[in-house]
């Protein structure tokens, strides 16, 4: 691809990052060029973000319906999974799964709640008093 043909389509990541690509300059030699993205990549990213938003919304509804605890919602909101959350908290995955249960979550110690709050970058009150 020639440097002047480098795609510069608008994308969700345009303001945060550019993609470095190898292109040919006017002399036919390879050089680098920055691209803001192209439509196909934008559509893939938009689709991925739509999936993430749907997962977060389902988690929010599960907490609101008292099927899951706020730990589950904030894990989804922060784009984590059990393995990542376990690594940050030091809790076993099966322990975190238990903390997803509202009746178990209500009995968690302040120490454990503090650990979760710190990881999710929220206050303990925001974690305990979940607001939509």
Over residues 24-68, the pLDDT tens digits come to 888 888 988 888 777 777 788 889 889 999 999 999 999 999 999
Whether 71 and 25 map to the same domain: the answer is: no
Say yes or no to pLDDT of 12 above 70. no
Do residue 57 and residue 31 come from a single domain? no
Residue 122 — very low, low, confident or very high, per pLDDT cuts 50/70/90? very high
Supply the pLDDT for residue 131: 79
Confirm if 24 and 3 have CB atoms less than 8 A apart: yes
Domain that holds residue 21: 3-37
Phi, psi of 129 (to 5 degrees): -100, 70
pLDDT at 130: 86
DSSP 4: G
Residues composing the chain: 132
* Whether residue 69 is found in the same domain as residue 110: yes
- Is the domain of 30 the same as that of 63? no
Number of domains making up the chain: 2
57 and 114 together in one domain: yes
Residue in this structure with the two tokens 């990881």, named with its chain if needed: 119
- Same domain? For 31 and 83 the reply is no
Residues 61 and 21 in one domain: no
* 71 in the same domain as 116: yes
């Amino acid at each position: 691809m020639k440097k002047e043909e480098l795609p510069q389509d608008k994308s969700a990541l345009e303001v945060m990052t550019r993609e470095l690509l190898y292109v040919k300059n006017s002399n036919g030699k390879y050089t680098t060029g920055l691209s803001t993205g192209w439509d196909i990549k934008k559509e893939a990213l938009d689709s991925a973000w739509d999936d993430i938003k749907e997962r977060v919304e389902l988690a929010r509804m599960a907490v609101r319906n008292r099927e899951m605890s706020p730990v589950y919602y904030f894990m989804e909101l922060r784009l984590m999974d059990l393995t990542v959350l376990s690594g940050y908290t030091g809790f076993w995955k099966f322990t975190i799964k238990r903390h997803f249960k509202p009746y178990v979550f209500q009995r968690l110690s302040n120490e454990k709640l503090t650990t979760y709050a710190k990881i999710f970058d929220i206050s303990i009150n925001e974690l305990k008093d979940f607001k939509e």
